[in-house]
Structure 1
Amino acid sequence: MKALVVYDSAYGNTRSVAEAIAGSLDGVQASSVPVGEFKPETLAAGDLLVVGSPINGWRPTPKITSLLAALGDGSLKGVNAAAFDTRVRMFIHGDAAKKISHALKAGGADIIAEPMPFYVKGSEGPLRDGEIEKAQGWGRRLLTSLGR
């Protein structure tokens, strides 16, 4: 099994979370990959795909949205998947992670975790204190849910 953490990042916060998640996936071949470098054909049944995006206009970024649209043909059948986003802590906000999770499921993926938000200070960050550790813990829980 291999794990790919695919992300788009405007200010580096989402990239930092993606790298923390990939780094916490001990015992599997894991890497974080910018959305423009992701090659869907490298995924196989049983692999783990984690997709992350900052919230952009109440939804994932256009690059992540385009990727998800291209994967919506059932090409993710048998792939385990999870989604996250980075956001500002506000009373009202978008939910990119939930939209990503729904799109991954529509593409045939098996969703193994609830969508996860990670919080930034202000619109450009940096990440709030403790968010990297939260990302590492979430990554380890993803493996646990897969029996690893």
Structure 2
Amino acid sequence: MTVLIVVESCFGNTTAVAHAVAAGLTRTVPLETVSVVHPAEAPVALPGDVRLLLVGAPTHAFSLPRPQSRREAGEKGAQDVDLPGVREWIERVTPSKDLHVVTFDTSIKTRFVPGTAAKASSKALKKRGFRHVDRGPGFFVTATEGPLADGERERAEAWGVQLGRDLNGSPGRTGNSTG
């Protein structure tokens, strides 16, 4: 059994969330079974032992990052802006119909949010052919470049603990644990 976390991050905030989720998961599942990878390094043919796939990205213009939004982030100091992101990885990945997938994102907290990276990636994964896709939580940053808002790293870790408990308690699909 493994958990694969595919995460795109421009300023490191979404990666920080992914590592906090991984830390929470490893409280209930073995450390060596949890992997955090950038979409450019993520397999397009998912290994058969993956029981849970988490997909995370920063919200850009109420959706997943695009090449143009990555370039704009690069002008503000973002890293890895020339690498393919979650959007491009989803377009290439071979769907696994029985695999449980949960999406998450980071964004600036606003009063009205018409869309998020988690929502967009959830829709794209379903369209690609994944059947068991849940939209997980969004985590907040204080500004475009970050950092994470107070308490978000801890909330991500707590969500990881819950995902691990759900995974251990179920022989198949885990519940939608948004913590």
TM-score bracket, shorter-length normalisation:
0.7 to 0.9
Aligned to 1:12: 12
Aligned to 2:80: none
Displacement after TM superposition at 1:130 (Å): 0.7
SS in 2 for 1:41: coil
Please give the per-residue CA displacement for 1:12-35, whole angstroms capped at 9, x wherever unaligned.
000100111112212240011111
Q: What is the distance in 2 between the residues matched to 1:119 and 1:65?
A: 20
TM-score (norm 1): 0.87
Please give the per-residue CA displacement for 1:49-103, whole angstroms capped at 9, x wherever unaligned.
10000011211123211111223x6x22221110100000011233111121222
Aligned to 2:44: 40
Q: What is the distance in 1 between the residues matched to 2:124 and 2:22?
A: 21
- Residue type matched to 1:21 in 2? V
Match of 1:65 among 87, 110, 121: 87
SS in 2 for 1:53: strand
Q: What is the distance in 2 between the residues matched to 1:108 and 1:42?
A: 12
Aligned to 2:71: none
- Residue type matched to 1:91 in 2? R
The Cα RMSD (Å) is: 1.8
SS in 1 for 2:125: helix
Structure 2 gaps of 5+ residues are: 67-84, 171-179
Q: What is the distance in 2 between the residues matched to 1:145 and 1:101?
A: 20
Contact 1:44-1:79 at 8 Å conserved across structures = no
Pairing 1:80-119 to 2, within 5 Å after superposition: 80-93=100-113, 94-106=115-127, 107-111=129-133, 113-119=134-140
Please give the per-residue CA displacement for 1:121-143, whole angstroms capped at 9, x wherever unaligned.
01111000111111111112222
Structure 1 gaps of 5+ residues are: none
TM-score (norm 2): 0.73
Moved over 6 A (4+): none
Q: What is the distance in 2 between the residues matched to 1:30 and 1:47?
A: 10
- Residue type matched to 1:70 in 2? R
Contact 1:5-1:21 at 8 Å conserved across structures = no
Q: What is the distance in 2 between the residues matched to 1:88 and 1:55?
A: 8
Contact 2:57-2:105 at 8 Å conserved across structures = yes
Q: What is the distance in 1 between the residues matched to 2:44 and 2:98?
A: 13
- Residue type matched to 1:108 in 2? F
